[in-house]
Amino acid sequence: MAKELKTPFVSGATVYAVILNAAGQTWRTDSGVFESPVSGDWAQYATAATEQSTTGIYEGNFPAAITVAGAYHVLFRQQTGSSPASTDPSNGMIGGTIYWTGAAESFPLASNAANATSVAMSGSNVNGNVTQWNSTAVSLNGGLPSVSSGNAGTGGGPIAINQNTGGTDNLRYVDGNGNGVEEAQVLIYLATNWPAQPDLVQATAVTGSDGRWVSPAFVQSGTYVAVFTKVGADGPDVSPAFSV
C-alpha cells in the first residue's frame, strides 16, 4: 500500500510527517529505527509528503520498513528552513493514528464487497481462541472478519450507535480498573450471528483514549452484540445483547 499519510494544507508548501510509536519514540528514516526524539536529529525524522498537483492535498507513504504491528501516531509539520527542524510548526495540520499490521494499514478495509476477505489486518496479529460469555469457543485465528455490507469501517444502516446505546456509557470499553481502553476495535454483530458466524460483521468502530467510540457505527434495526478487542492488550470481550 502507499499514500497512507494525508493532510490538507496551503498549496506550495514543504510538508513532512513524523512517525511516533506507542512509547513516544520517533522513526529515523536514515537508520530505520525508533529513538527518543532529539532536536539535533530532527532532519532524520522527516517522512516526505508530496502535494498532489496544486490541490493543497499532501500525501506520503508510511515507512514500509516498520514491520511491527501496532498503532502509530503521525505528526505533520511545515518545513520553514533548508532542512526539517524541531521548531517547524504544524500550522493547524492535524495528524492522526495509523493502525499498521506490519505490512499494510489495518483501516480502512481493502474492500467493501459483501463478505470481503481482503481486510488488511492479518491473522498473525489476531491469534487466539475467544471464549464468549456463554462459554462457546470462537476462533479468530484467521484474522479479523470483514464487514458484511454497507460502508467499509462504519456499517450500512440508518441507525447510529455508540457507547451510549442502551444507556450512558453502556458500550464504553474499560479495563478491570475502570480505565478506558484506547484504540480498541469494536465489531458489531447481529446477536443471532455471534458467535457462530464471526465473519458476518455488520459495522465497526474504534475507541478513543477514554474507551468511548471515536465515531458512531451505523446499523439496521435489530438486536446486536459488540465485540471489543485490542491486539496484544485487551479482549476480545463481548457486550450483552442490545436492540435498536
What span, in angstroms and rounded, lies between the C-alpha atoms of 35 and 65?
15
What span, in angstroms and rounded, lies between the C-alpha atoms of 200 and 188?
9
Q: How far is CA 204 from the centre of its chain?
A: 11
pLDDT < 70 regions, the chain: 1, 107-156, 231-235
Pick the CATH number of 113-244 from 2.40.420, 2.60.40, 3.40.1000, 2.40.50: 2.60.40
Count CA within 13 A, CB hemisphere, residue 114.
0
What span, in angstroms and rounded, lies between the C-alpha atoms of 180 and 1?
31
69 CB-near residues (< 8 Å, 6+ apart): 100, 101, 102, 125, 231, 232
My answer on whether omega of the bond before 108 falls inside 30° of 0, hence cis, is: yes
Asked if the domains at 5-100 and 113-244 fall in one CATH topology, the answer is: yes
How much is the pLDDT for 98? 86
How much is the pLDDT for 201? 86
List the chain domain ranges.
Answer: 5-100, 113-244
Q: How far is CA 45 from the centre of its chain?
A: 22
How much is the pLDDT for 155? 59
pTM here is: 0.49
C-alpha cell recorded at residue 86 = 524541531
How much is the pLDDT for 177? 78
How much is the pLDDT for 194? 85
How much is the pLDDT for 233? 61
Pick the CATH number of 5-100 from 3.30.1370, 1.10.3430, 2.40.390, 2.60.40: 2.60.40
What span, in angstroms and rounded, lies between the C-alpha atoms of 84 and 135?
55
162 CB-near residues (< 8 Å, 6+ apart): 171, 205, 212, 213, 215, 216, 217
Question: What is the H or E stretch that residue 100 is in?
Answer: strand 96-100
Count of helices and strands (H, E) across the chain: 0, 17
Q: Please state whether beta strands 185-190 and 223-230 pair in parallel, antiparallel, or not at all (unpaired).
A: antiparallel
CB atoms within 10 A of CB 122: 17
How much is the pLDDT for 131? 38
